[in-house]
Amino acid sequence: MNVIEVKGLKKSYGQVHAVRGVDLSIPAGEIFALLGPNGAGKTTTVEILEGFRNRDAGEVSILGFDPKNQGREAREWRNRIGIVLQSAADAGDLTVIETIKHFSGYYSNPRDVDEVIAAVGLENKSSALIRNLSGGQRRRLDVALGIVGRPELLFLDEPTTGFDPEARRAFWALIQQLRGTGTTILLTTHYLDEAEALADRVAVINNGLIIEVSTPAELGGRATSKAVVSWRDGDHIKTEGTDNPTSVVTRLNAQFGGEIPELTVTRPSLEDIYLTMIGGQNE
Amino acid sequence: MNKIPSALNLGIRRGKLEIIQFARQRESVVFTLLFPVILLAIFGSVFKDTIAPGVTFSQYFVAGMIASGLVNTGFQALAITIPMERDVGGLKRLRGTPMPASSYFIGKAILIAVSMIIQIALLFGFGLLFFGVQMPTEPSKWLVFIWLVLLGSACSTALGIAFSIVPKSGRGASAVVSPIVIILQFFSGVFFVFTQLPAWMQQLAAIFPLKWLTQGMRSVFLPDSFASQEVAKSWETGRTFIILLAWLFIGVFFSIRKFRWDRD
């Protein structure tokens, strides 16, 4: 059984159709990225899955539970999931360790508090007040609070917004480590390189619909799209689109009798593909 | 597999955490706990007369200060701080955990109860030492005092949580809540002798709990002879109990049904 199973999900706010029929199937242990521009329906979709919002239509099953239900069963369900929201700035007067210890008490089978602090790399900050943490450290605390309950499913909403490149790399390593523990992760992000580095599969959502679900390497026909070979020929930069870049390079190699000046061979980046996809939809 | 902790167990843990957080905000600790004492000092120094044989204004005022302390510490503080917690995303984070809403409410009730006990102790201490306030001697009056504090504190907590849905943002909360509390204090006879207020003010005040809390506290701190000077010519202890209980139910009902964890 899939950890996340969504069929025909719809949600409108007045006249605005935020989500117009989303289907998703995510198996256990997968890292799944949901990509899309602001206002595409990303946050609405995820918040319905997290049980924060009601839906207008469709079926949702998260770990076999319908998140629209409340009460005792909902508590048992929340005991099995972890949620890392965007930008929380609460509990400034508590220390890192106090907060993680307190949240661990909400769950039936929490992770060891020191282990969690080490996993997110906050050992040196464990007795610092939260108000004194940097943005990146706060975000790592958010993740610590999301994973302390040993969730089977983790929601990560734009986890690295505002990070410097080094902090993002460290964060990615942390998520990859979680993959090793078998946690299923639903990630929403603006960053294409993040999706490429972390996700097993990505879905692109725009105007309330999923345009495509694929691996990052294959999205939008990326794996089979033409390669572009470019090189310098005298004063000019020449380019050639081809399905056989190796033979083009071999030919050029013979032509130049050795090194080809300023040679590059590129395929469209995930970002190129993504921008084409959402651009095509918006026109 | 262990069971998930009970709502009461988590409520007590929340209470401890709330107290730690409150205690670390030094300015607000001093202001919240000493505000009634400061008011007693001001009013006690200005009004030196007796309002009835053997009843100083300070004595009358202590009753009003404890009653309005319950409203300030519970209703006002919660109706302002909960929207602030909501603004910074703290409530939404809690909503995503297995902690039930009732535990959050129990935690707030514990914080309010503890801070009321400290506030009352300070008020008694200063009142006894500097303003000649006399404590009741009959056990029956202390009994009334204890249920008034407990019921008043619960009522104030529940109504504060319920009213936290009204302010749209944490920044605007104080502007919405504070005037209501101040007007209520004037109407309910906290600062002035209730029977000297215009009749329409008295009738309006009688709808809300603060008037009954204040009157109840007068029944504890003023001699029984003063009861004849009340509007109803008696302390109306039974009616006070029923009205406070009714407001407690209203507060709990709206807290459970309408509580908002999220900004939008």
What are the DSSP calls for B85-111, one per residue?
HHHTTHHHHHHTSS--HHHHHHHHHHH
A251 shares a domain with A274: yes
A236 shares a domain with A199: no
Q: Which residues of A touch B99 (CB under 8 A)?
A: 106
pLDDT of residue A101: 94
Q: Lowest-pLDDT range, A77-86, A222-231, B203-212?
A: A222-231
Measure the CA–CA gap between B49 and A129, rounded to whole angstroms. 50
B159 has a pLDDT exceeding 70: yes
A156 shares a domain with A48: yes
The answer to the question of residue A124 being in a domain is no
A207 shares a domain with A246: no
A108 touches chain B (CB under 8 A): yes
A78/B97 touch (CB, cutoff 8 Å), yes or no: yes
Q: What pLDDT band is residue B161 in, cutting at 50, 70 and 90?
A: very high
- For B91, residues 6+ apart whose C-beta sits below 8 A from its C-beta are A90, B82, B85, B260, B261, B262
Q: Lowest-pLDDT range, A85-94, A203-212, B156-165?
A: A85-94
Q: What is the mean pLDDT of chain B?
A: 86
| Minimal CA separation from A149 to chain B, in Å | 9
Q: Lowest-pLDDT range, A262-276, B4-18, B74-88, B146-160?
A: A262-276
A247 has a pLDDT exceeding 80: yes
pLDDT of residue B68: 85
Measure the CA–CA gap between A76 and A211, rounded to whole angstroms. 34
| Strand order across the A201-206 sheet | A81-84, A153-157, A184-189, A31-35, A201-206, A209-214
Q: Under DSSP, is residue A1 helix (H, G, I), strand (E, B) or coil?
A: coil
The answer to the question of residue A202 being in a domain is yes
Q: Which long-range contacts (CB under 8 A, 24 or more apart) does A59-67 make?
A: A59/A5, A59/A6, A59/A7, A59/A8, A59/A9, A60/A5, A60/A6, A60/A9, A61/A2, A61/A4, A61/A5, A61/A6, A62/A3, A62/A4, A62/A5, A62/A153, A63/A3, A63/A152, A63/A153, A64/A1
pLDDT of residue A280: 58
Q: How many domains does chain A have?
A: 2
A108/B10 touch (CB, cutoff 8 Å), yes or no: no
A50 touches chain B (CB under 8 A): yes
Average pLDDT, integer, range B204-211: 85
- For B9, residues 6+ apart whose C-beta sits below 8 A from its C-beta are none
The answer to the question of residue A47 being in a domain is yes
A236 shares a domain with A162: no
In terms of CA atoms, which chain B residue is nearest residue A142? B93
- B227 versus B72: the higher-pLDDT residue is B72
pLDDT of residue A72: 84
- B75 versus A174: the higher-pLDDT residue is B75
A75 shares a domain with A15: yes
- How big is chain A, counted in residues? 283
A248 shares a domain with A161: no
Per-residue model confidence as pLDDT tens digits over A78-128: 999 999 987 677 777 899 999 999 999 999 999 999 988 888 888 888 899
Q: What letters, b where the CB count within 10 A reaches 16 and e where it falls short, cover B88-100?
A: bbbbbbbbbbbbb
Per-residue model confidence as pLDDT tens digits over B208-256: 888 888 888 888 888 777 777 777 777 788 888 898 899 999 988 998 8
A13 shares a domain with A55: yes
Cβ-contact B32, B77 below 8 angstroms:
yes
A260 shares a domain with A197: no
pLDDT of residue A283: 40
Task: Tell me which residue has tokens 């300015």.
Answer: B27
In terms of CA atoms, which chain A residue is nearest residue B262? A52
A90/B99 touch (CB, cutoff 8 Å), yes or no: no
B8 touches chain A (CB under 8 A): no
Average pLDDT, integer, range B34-51: 81
The answer to the question of residue A231 being in a domain is yes
Q: How many CB pairs under 8 A join A and B?
A: 76
Measure the CA–CA gap between A241 and A245, rounded to whole angstroms. 8
A249 has a pLDDT exceeding 50: yes
Measure the CA–CA gap between A88 and B97, rounded to whole angstroms. 14
User: Phi and psi (nearest 5°) for A239?
Assistant: -130, 150
The answer to the question of residue A118 being in a domain is no
Q: Lowest-pLDDT range, A45-49, A85-89, A145-149?
A: A85-89
pLDDT of residue B107: 94
Measure the CA–CA gap between A143 and A133, rounded to whole angstroms. 14
Task: Tell me which residue has tokens 């120094």.
Answer: B45
Query: Whose CA is closest to B65, among B45, B85, B35, B23?
Result: B35
Query: Whose CA is closest to A82, among A189, A183, A160?
Result: A183
- For B151, residues 6+ apart whose C-beta sits below 8 A from its C-beta are B241, B244, B245, B248
B27 touches chain A (CB under 8 A): no
The answer to the question of residue A242 being in a domain is yes
CATH number at residue A201: 3.40.50.300
Two tokens, residue A200: 């097993």
Q: What pLDDT band is residue B1 in, cutting at 50, 70 and 90?
A: low
Question: To 5 degrees, how large is the angle CA A248–CA A252–CA A257?
Answer: 150
In terms of CA atoms, which chain B residue is nearest residue A154? B96
A39 shares a domain with A58: yes
Per-residue model confidence as pLDDT tens digits over A23-33: 999 999 899 99
Domain that holds residue A267: 221-282
The answer to the question of residue A93 being in a domain is no
pLDDT of residue A122: 86
A20 shares a domain with A46: yes
A251 shares a domain with A199: no
